[in-house]
């Protein structure tokens, strides 16, 4: 008996600005593969071992997901992915970040040019790759100040020209910062969900200027799934995929059942009837 789950077709992949990168409408977030301290989830969890993590990654690939999101601030997520993705590199669009470090339970932020360059070189080694598809600035909330004082997006643009990264952007926390980041890069990662729509102007700006948006906290870090009534996942997807700028929603689950259900919900909705990606 064939028990293979329905999968996202490559034709529904969405573009990252004017790059040649196309991503699945759901991306796999990997905070829970490397960090269980200082995270804001409604329930505790155990970091999966390598066998469990590889099973999750293989399932995501089978479900048609090609975007995987990591960061130096996600504990040892990058190092683990460098081993777990061995032999699969061409199957994945890898998104990582610069700016935030997480050491011994504490975050610190470093946005100067030397720190950014060192962070990318370290991520390349950890991920066991000679290029990272997307690199975003991990903001501490002072989006505009980071961009203007450090020229950090220009630094990333120059590194992009060297071939170490293929697309640049910023994970922002303000409308002003999101729009400024969009003006200087390919992509913005913004918060947008049923409980929080304040950053909608960023999505609108990106739609008007051919810039891509990745949605973080699409399900409010799982909190929306605790509310009664209509299916929160289906309603969430209906909301977040309305703006044409939204390329993907990053969902950080380590539960295979939840991952299958999320993809199935997406397939059942109107999202996958709005193809903007390549047909190959």
Domain ranges of the chain: 22-174+249-268
Instruction: Give CA separation, 3 vs 6, 62, 154, 263, in Å.
Output: 9, 12, 48, 15
pLDDT, average across residues 157-184: 98
- CA nearest neighbour of 180 among 137, 243, 231: 137
Cβ-contact 177, 139 below 8 angstroms? yes
Domain 22-174+249-268 belongs to what topology?
Answer: TIM Barrel (3.20.20)
Confidence at residue 207, expressed as pLDDT on a 0 to 100 scale = 98
Exposed/middle/buried for residue 264 (C-beta within 10 Å: 0-12, 13-18, 19+) = middle
pLDDT per position as a tens digit, 172-223: 999 999 999 999 999 999 999 999 999 999 999 999 999 999 999 998 766 6
CA distance 185 to 169: 5
pLDDT per position as a tens digit, 3-39: 677 899 999 999 999 999 999 999 999 999 997 776 6
pLDDT, average across residues 74-83: 96
pLDDT surpassing 60 at residue 273: no
What confidence category does residue 42 fall into, taking pLDDT thresholds of 50, 70 and 90? low
- Cβ-based neighbours of 249, under 8 Å, separated by 6 or more: 25, 26, 27, 214, 215, 218, 237, 240, 241
pTM: 0.91
pLDDT per position as a tens digit, 100-110: 999 888 899 99
**Strand pairing class (132-138; 106-109):** unpaired
Residues labelled as active-site residues: 74
Confidence at residue 3, expressed as pLDDT on a 0 to 100 scale = 60
Q: Could you tell me the sign of the dihedral formed by the alpha carbons of 187, 189, 195, 200, in that order? A: negative
pLDDT surpassing 60 at residue 53: yes
């Amino acid at each position: 008996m064939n028990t293979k789950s329905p999968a996202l077709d490559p034709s529904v992949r969405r573009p990252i600005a004017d790059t040649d990168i196309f991503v699945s409408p759901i991306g796999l977030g990997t905070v829970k593969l490397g960090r269980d301290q200082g995270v804001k989830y409604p329930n505790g969890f155990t970091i999966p071992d390598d066998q469990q993590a590889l099973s999750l990654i293989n399932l995501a690939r089978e479900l048609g997901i090609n975007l995987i999101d990591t960061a130096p601030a996600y504990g040892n997520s990058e190092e683990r992915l460098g081993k777990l993705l061995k032999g699969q590199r061409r199957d994945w669009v890898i998104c990582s970040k610069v700016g935030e470090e997480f050491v011994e339970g504490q975050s610190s932020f470093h946005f100067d040019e030397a720190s950014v360059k060192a962070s990318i070189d370290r991520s390349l080694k950890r991920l066991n790759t000679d290029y990272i598809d997307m690199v975003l600035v991990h903001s501490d909330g002072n989006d505009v100040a980071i961009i203007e004082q450090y020229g950090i997006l220009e630094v990333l643009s120059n590194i992009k020209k060297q071939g170490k990264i293929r697309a640049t952007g910023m994970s922002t926390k303000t409308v002003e910062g999101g729009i400024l980041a969009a003006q200087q890069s390919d992509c913005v990662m913004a918060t947008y969900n049923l409980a929080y729509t304040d950053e909608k102007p960023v999505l609108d700006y990106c739609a008007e200027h051919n810039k891509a948006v990745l949605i973080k906290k699409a399900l409010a870090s799982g909190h929306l799934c605790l509310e009664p009534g209509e299916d929160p996942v289906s309603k969430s997807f209906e909301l977040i995929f309305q703006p044409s700028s939204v390329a993907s929603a990053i969902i950080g689950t380590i539960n295979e059942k939840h991952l299958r259900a999320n993809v199935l919900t997406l397939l059942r909705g109107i999202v996958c009837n709005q193809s903007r990606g390549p047909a190959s």
